[in-house]
Structure 1
Amino acid sequence: MEPVNPAQAVPVSTEQVAAFRRFNRYFTRRIGALDDHYLGQDRPLGEARLLFEIAESAAGVSLRALRSRLGLDAGYLSRMAKALETQGLVRITVHPDDSRLRMVGLTPAGHIELKEQQRRANALVAHLLGGLTDSQRTELTESMTTTRRLLRLAAITVDLVDGASESARTCLDAYADDIDERFPEGFDKSDLVRPHEVSGDAGAFFVAYEEGRPVGCGALRRLEPGVGEIRHVWVHPDARRLGLARRILDALERESRRRAFDVVRLDTHAALTEAQAMYRACGYTEIPAYVDHVYASHWFEKRLRG
């Protein structure tokens, strides 16, 4: 499965790459990421960050989960965890129900160390921001919020998967639960597309992944020669307001063009006003009903060729 690259239509310029790398070099140097004694403590940034991530779960966390969350090599993560254990800051155990999982949690000394780490980190940031006016601080924090949002979106992949895959069914179940709460009449899962409708020659199913976790989906199926139908465009609540729905829609439209569809159609519920606004903004035109669908109040189409 190849990830759908949103930059395919517009290549990334060398100037944009250079600017990104220039900022990265400055920022990592400015916060002390290159220092072997991050924040003046006796460990590099990697170990300090690992200490923070372990503390996020009060009951402890598996090394496997940490590896997935942080995108670290298994050997590198294991060495860092062992170093923290040697310092008496974490305790590594075997999961009581699964001997294959190694669990790691903070010791009392680890909690004390983390508290001091947080104090020093806050002091560093306060010192940096202290050189700016209040309006400049607001501008900087707003810019960082935008940067984080766009970096999250850039890191999400949108992959073509089989309609019967676990990721596809997980997303559809979450989609159904979500709209069941939003539709006044509720939602019957029998209305969901069947795997055979969105696989192979019949259609396609895309899943958006963030750090290995499905956070969105969209389906495409063939209605008639030259006409496709888009169904179940959904984004997990945690990943909304990033622009991900448009990414998924773009992937579905590109797949429609690849399948030589001249037109794509879709319908949506009256309660989904934000979806209606997105479709209009993406060039979809409202049309008369093309199908009798119990949950449809608005019908749209978009011409992809000519």
Structure 2
Amino acid sequence: MQSDVIVQAEDPNSRDAKELIELLSDTLQSITGDSGKNSFDISDVTVPRSLFVLARNQQGEPIGCGAIRPIDSNIAELKRMYAKSKANGVGSAILSYLEEQSMNFGYSQIWLETRAVNQKAVSFYENKGYSRIDNYGKYINREECICLGKFLS
């Protein structure tokens, strides 16, 4: 993990968390035409075997967020991944931390959904070892959605 990025669990209701979630929603709205707000409920990341994290820089400023929630006993779903800056490894640090915590929680896979139009996100995840999977849950039969998964080891 990047030494200049500090990732740790945080209350998703904190001011910093809410601010980053809102920035992500604005970014998604501009890229995809959908804020993603209908696909995220804070209560989903406050249940057992779920986690919400913030990334902070060395000055303690919030620079990114991400979360996992259970789909079933073996699969975690990645939610609300966001990095203010794409250049300094924030997204990679958050993803690495969430993958490690998912293994600690006993998950064997992580799944996620993003929009086909969001090619930067698709490329980011594919470069991190994620592969396309059949759309699951509410994303079934939705052509604008791309679902990706990764086996954890």
Structure-2-length-normalised TM-score = 0.88
Counterparts of 1:160 and 1:286 in 2: how far apart (Å)? 28
Contact 2:132 2:146 in 1 (8 A): yes
Question: Are 1:302 and 2:145 matched, yes or no?
Answer: no
Work out which of the residue numbers 77, 96, 104 in structure 2 matches 1:229.
Answer: 77
Match of 1:242 among 79, 88, 92: 88
What are structure 1's unaligned runs of at least 5 residues?
A: 1-5, 7-152
Contact 2:29 2:35 in 1 (8 A): yes
1:269 aligns with 2:115: yes
In the other structure, the counterpart of 1:180 is: 29
Alignment of 1:252 with 2:98, yes or no, is yes
Rounded to whole Å, the distance in 2 between the matches of 1:295 and 1:198 is: 27
Listed one character per residue, the Cα deviations across residues 231-262 of structure 1 (whole Å, up to 9, x for unaligned) are 121111xx221121111100110110010001
Report % sequence identity. 23
Structure 1's 295 and 216: CA in aligned 2 closer, same or farther, altered over 3 A? farther
The one-letter amino acid of 2:147's match is: W
Q: What is the alpha-carbon distance in structure 2 between the residues aligned to residue 302 and residue 286 of structure 1?
A: 9
In structure 1, the partner of 2:6 is 157
More helix by share: 1
Map residues 1-306 of structure 1 onto 2, 5 A cutoff.
6=1, 153-183=2-32, 185-187=33-35, 189-191=37-39, 193-210=40-57, 211-236=59-84, 239-293=85-139, 297-305=145-153
Q: What SS does structure 2 have at the residue aligned with 1:212?
A: coil
Q: Tell me, in whole angstroms, the C-alpha distance in 1 between the residues paired with 2:152 and 2:132.
A: 15
TM-score by length of 1: 0.46
- CA distance in structure 2 between the partners assigned to 1:257 and 1:248 by the alignment: 14
**Alpha-carbon deviation of 1:275?**
1.3
Unaligned stretches of 5+ residues in structure 2: none
Decide whether aligned partners of structure 1 residues 287 and 215 sit closer, same or farther in structure 2, where only a CA change above 3 A counts.
same
- Partner-residue secondary structure (3-state), 2:24: helix
Q: Is the 8 A contact 1:162 1:195 kept in 2?
A: no
- Cα distance in structure 2, aligned partners of 1:166 and 1:296: 32
- Aligned equivalents of 1:160 and 1:254: distance in 2? 13
**Who wins on radius of gyration, i.e. which is larger?**
1
The structural deviation recorded for 1:229 is 0.3
The match for 1:149 is none
Paired amino acid for 1:300: L
- State the alpha-carbon separation in 2 of the partners of residues 195 and 270 from structure 1: 24
Report how far residue 195 of structure 1 moved: 2.3
Deviation of 1:295 after TM superposition, in Å, equals 9.0
CA distance in 2: counterparts of 1:156 and 1:196, whole angstroms: 26
Return the structure number with greater relative CO, CA threshold 8 A, min gap 6.
Answer: 2
